[in-house]
């Protein structure tokens, strides 16, 4: 605490105030008949200290009736006024602005300066400090600068310290668990053998334990695992050296219906890149705007005269484009709810001479591509709405379009059973791919642009390697396909016809799940949501979201109950061994720890998880 009784407190406060002004305002200078000069931090700090000393001198003068204070102030004022009269006009510049200092101001400044110096001389004359004035100011500046460096260092270290704290908590959890097990082992050993000493684990076993811990770290870092097999790293994985196998519950998908008093047929659907909105193109020519989080209908865009067949959202999530049977491309601003006019062919009030079945916006938002039953692909300036060029090559209607991640290649699929790769700059066809026996209805690309998926009415999905333009895998879905979509985060994809939706493993081609939805379908960009058409006459769309066992991926909502069996809560088999149960417990403990989620639901879930693990430990003794 600062002591103001001996005057040092006033000096310290004044110097600190000067330091704050120098650091926050900066760029202070003085100009006059003598020229101009900048006032650095040391000068401002000294000035603040003198001003603080002057305040102390005034207080002392009032309390003691020291007439010297008045004489010193008068002398300083005279000197200040004389300086102003001799030098002439004086100005002060501060942070880009400036103001003049007149004769009166200079007199006041001189009086304060003289009074401050007088007080400092009194302080040192009384032997209150063994330091010189210069040494005192230097010490003050060092302390202030040191405090600033300390504060900055603590700000820089804050995220790092937070991470250390979290890791320490998880380490304590491990230590406590191992300590309890060790105590039980020692206790049983002493009872059974009636001996006072025992042999600890040797170095070889401890090394294997460290290897296992390293593998468990990788296990915890993988949020999308389904089955994990861990091996002793000192041996080859080709040998029979499996030490533990973890079977984690595969994600399932639960749906929520989107309803409206009108239930038009939905022909096309899109999710905005910001994962806030769902856009659906309808049979009655309208486009519905839905809130993805609240599942509420926000707005209905009107402008298309006939049924909408294709829909697209710009990369900035600001505009939605729709087209269909009226042969026009319509565009609306999502936030402003306004319609824009454009996308007309030369000497025409239409965008195409036929039904528009496909729309695609380039990743940079510069280009819009449209495909039609007139067998043409048109490239438009997305912002201007101006027609730029036409790509001719297909012999029948274009049903699907997709841009490469770099926006340089456009891929089209047609009723003529072919896929064409186009160079946007040259407007030339680079490659024609053939691999389906019926019309190709849908396309999608992996996020890295290496693989293309094509779906057809022949019921097959072809996975193409775009490097060598070959089919690496063909998946038979047993029904004609109308749409498909890739979930790059989970490495799965979905296919749909007019009756059902199927989920597939992207790497193995394994059928994972069949959902009660229908065409059209689209995954959200974060992979957490799938939107599909609905077979029900009461709803327009279905929103599917992932569920892992009893933990629903719906914000903080956790569906857990104390009445559940311990293995149901921990998501393991009743016959799982202790190591597998322990790993499952640690995984859930990290996922739902209050430090990660401090909601009341998460705290309750953590209590249930702890109770389930305690029950398992009690039964396993």
**In this structure, is residue 108 part of a structural domain?**
yes
**In this structure, is residue 535 part of a structural domain?**
no
Residues 451 and 596 occupy one common structural domain: no
CA 187 from centre of chain = 49
Of 382, 411, 434, which residue sits at a domain end? 434
Number of folded domains that form the chain = 5
Residues 385 and 415 occupy one common structural domain: yes
**In this structure, is residue 238 part of a structural domain?**
yes
* Cβ neighbours, 10 Å, residue 513: 15
The tokens of 269 are what? 């659907």
Beta partners for residue 308, in sequence order:
324
Q: Which residues of the chain have pLDDT under 50?
A: 128-129, 150, 157, 160, 190, 193-205, 224-249, 549-557
The tokens of 322 are what? 């729709």
What are the CA-CA distances from residue 374 to residues 109, 305, 331, 424 (Å)? 86, 19, 21, 20
The tokens of 292 are what? 């993805």
Which residues, at least 6 apart from 218, have a Cβ–Cβ distance to it below 8 Å? none
- For residues 389 and 416, what is the distance between their CA atoms, to the nearest angstrom? 22
Answer whether 277's CB lies under 8 Å from 318's CB: no
- For residues 56 and 371, what is the distance between their CA atoms, to the nearest angstrom? 84
* Per-residue model confidence (pLDDT) at position 535: 82
Residues 319 and 399 occupy one common structural domain: yes
465-524 residue pLDDT tens: 999 999 999 999 989 999 999 999 889 999 999 999 999 999 999 999 899 899 999 999
**In this structure, is residue 25 part of a structural domain?**
yes
- For residues 96 and 84, what is the distance between their CA atoms, to the nearest angstrom? 24
**In this structure, is residue 261 part of a structural domain?**
no
∠ CA 423-424-428, rounded to 5°: 45
- For residues 112 and 104, what is the distance between their CA atoms, to the nearest angstrom? 13
Residues 282 and 318 occupy one common structural domain: yes
**In this structure, is residue 137 part of a structural domain?**
no
The tokens of 389 are what? 């060029």
Residues 295 and 350 occupy one common structural domain: yes
Residues 424 and 462 occupy one common structural domain: no
Residues 90 and 21 occupy one common structural domain: yes
> Three-class SS of residue 512?
strand
Residues 46 and 126 occupy one common structural domain: yes
Show the domain range for 274. Answer: 267-434
Residues 422 and 445 occupy one common structural domain: no
Say which CATH number the domain at 565 has. 1.10.287.110
Of 372, 406, 434, which residue sits at a domain end? 434
**In this structure, is residue 531 part of a structural domain?**
no
Of 479, 508, 523, which residue sits at a domain end? 523
The tokens of 304 are what? 């298309």
DSSP string of 3-28?
Answer: --SSSHHHHHHHHHHHHHHHHHT--E
* Per-residue model confidence (pLDDT) at position 618: 78
**In this structure, is residue 64 part of a structural domain?**
yes
- For residues 130 and 503, what is the distance between their CA atoms, to the nearest angstrom? 83
What are the CA-CA distances from residue 180 to residues 210, 593, 607 (Å)? 19, 21, 19
* Per-residue model confidence (pLDDT) at position 93: 67
* Per-residue model confidence (pLDDT) at position 178: 59
| Residue at token pair 């519905």 | 288
The tokens of 113 are what? 């300066």
Residue 491 — φ and ψ, nearest 5°? Answer: 55, 50
Say which CATH number the domain at 474 has. 2.40.128.630
50-71 residue pLDDT tens: 777 777 777 777 777 776 777 7
* Per-residue model confidence (pLDDT) at position 336: 92
pTM score: 0.53
Q: Where are the alpha helices (DSSP H) in 88-202?
A: 103-125, 133-193
Give 356's Cβ-side CA count (13 Å radius): 31
Give 400's Cβ-side CA count (13 Å radius): 29
Residues 365 and 287 occupy one common structural domain: yes
Residues 456 and 481 occupy one common structural domain: yes
Residues 172 and 215 occupy one common structural domain: no
């Amino acid at each position: 605490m600062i002591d103001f009784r001996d005057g040092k407190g006033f000096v310290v406060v004044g110097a600190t105030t000067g330091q704050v002004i120098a650091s926050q305002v900066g760029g202070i200078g003085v100009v006059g008949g003598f020229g101009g000069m900048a006032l650095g931090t040391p000068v401002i700090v000294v000035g603040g200290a003198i001003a603080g000393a002057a305040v102390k001198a005034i207080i002392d003068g009032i309390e003691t009736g020291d007439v010297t204070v008045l004489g010193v102030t008068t002398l300083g004022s005279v000197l200040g006024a004389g300086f102003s009269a001799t030098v002439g006009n004086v100005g002060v510049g501060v942070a880009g602005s400036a103001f003049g200092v007149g004769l009166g101001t200079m007199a006041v400044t001189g009086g304060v300066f003289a009074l401050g110096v007088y007080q400092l001389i009194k302080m040192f004359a009384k032997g209150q400090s063994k330091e010189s004035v210069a040494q005192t100011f230097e010490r003050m500046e060092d302390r202030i600068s040191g405090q600033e460096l300390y504060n900055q260092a603590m700000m820089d270290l804050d995220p790092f310290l937070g991470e250390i704290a979290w890791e320490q908590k998880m380490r304590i959890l491990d230590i406590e668990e191992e300590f309890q097990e060790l105590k039980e082992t020692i206790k049983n050993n002493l009872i059974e053998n009636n001996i006072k000493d025992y042999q600890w684990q040797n170095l070889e076993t401890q090394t294997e334990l460290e290897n296992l811990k390293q593998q468990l770290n990788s296990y915890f870092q993988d949020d999308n695992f389904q089955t994990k097999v861990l091996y002793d790293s000192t041996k080859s994985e080709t040998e029979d050296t499996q030490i533990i196998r973890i079977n984690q519950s595969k994600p399932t998908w639960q749906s929520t219906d989107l309803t409206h008093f009108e239930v038009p047929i939905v022909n096309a659907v899109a999710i905005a890149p910001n994962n806030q909105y769902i856009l659906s193109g309808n049979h009655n020519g309208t486009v519905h705007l839905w809130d993805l989080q609240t599942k509420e209908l926000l707005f209905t865009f009107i402008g298309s005269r006939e049924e909408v067949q294709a829909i697209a959202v710009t990369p900035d999530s600001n505009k939605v484009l729709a087209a269909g049977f009226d042969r026009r491309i319509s565009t609306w601003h999502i936030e402003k709810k306004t319609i824009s006019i454009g996308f007309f062919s030369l000497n025409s009030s239409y965008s195409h001479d036929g039904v528009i079945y496909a729309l695609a916006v380039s990743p940079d938002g510069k280009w819009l591509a449209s495909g039609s039953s007139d067998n043409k692909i048109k490239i438009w300036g997305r912002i201007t709405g101006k027609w730029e060029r036409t790509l001719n090559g297909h012999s029948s209607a274009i049903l699907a379009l997709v841009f490469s991640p770099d926006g340089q290649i456009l891929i089209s699929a047609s009723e003529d059973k072919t896929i064409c790769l186009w160079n946007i700059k040259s407007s030339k066809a680079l490659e024609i791919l053939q691999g389906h026996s019926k019309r190709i209805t849908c396309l999608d690309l992996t996020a890295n642009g290496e693989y293309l998926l094509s779906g057809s009415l022949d019921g097959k999905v072809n996975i193409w390697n775009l490097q060598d333009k070959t089919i690496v895998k063909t998946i038979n879905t047993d029904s004609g396909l109308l749409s498909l979509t890739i979930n790059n985060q989970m490495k799965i994809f979905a296919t749909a016809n007019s009756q059902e939706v199927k989920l597939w493993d992207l790497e193995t081609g394994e059928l994972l799940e069949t959902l009660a939805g229908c065409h059209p379908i689209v995954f959200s960009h974060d992979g957490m949501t799938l939107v599909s058409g609905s077979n029900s006459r009461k709803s327009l769309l279905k929103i599917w979201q992932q569920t892992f066992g009893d933990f629903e991926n719906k914000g903080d909502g956790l569906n857990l109950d104390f009445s559940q069996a311990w293995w149901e809560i921990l998501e393991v088999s009743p016959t799982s061994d202790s190591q597998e149960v322990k790993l499952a417990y640690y995984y859930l403990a990290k996922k739902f720890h209050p430090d990660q989620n401090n909601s009341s639901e998460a705290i309750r879930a953590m209590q249930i998880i702890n109770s389930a693990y305690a029950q398992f430990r009690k039964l396993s003794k």
